Structure 1
């Protein structure tokens, strides 16, 4: 299991992982921050990006905040680190 700190921009034009810097994954989702819609969109995006099922991702902290912490249950810390390095090497959009 691996934990990940995330900064979410809800109500964006596109759903994407913007990048990773300073220990924080920056993500944008189209869903508005209303009644958990943005949280559900975040979990779907993370599931696609990390090749796991949405049920294997748990929102631990930040249900009503832009800053969140999630647990990825099927990922080792090493696999998570490798994926985050890929996101960090992408130029910001």
Structure 2
């Protein structure tokens, strides 16, 4: 199994009312803050459209390798976003990390 390239995805539902300013601000801030971390590439924000689960949004990003992924997890911008925004504003989430076979 190759562990070079990693796609990190998290699908989530916010505590905010659908269509609210708080919802919009969280998604915009998440994109601005997390995509500014140097090891992050291909950052995307998604609206989940499948009726097969209850999650509403997704963040997806790519890392060149495991070291880049670990650097992202330890980066001060990521750590502060999780502590100050994610833990307070996200109701539920599922994290999925992929590496090509």
TM-score between both structures, scaled by the size of structure 2 = 0.39
Which protein is richer in helix relative to its size? 2
Higher RCO, 1 or 2 (CA under 8 Å, sep at least 6)?
A: 2
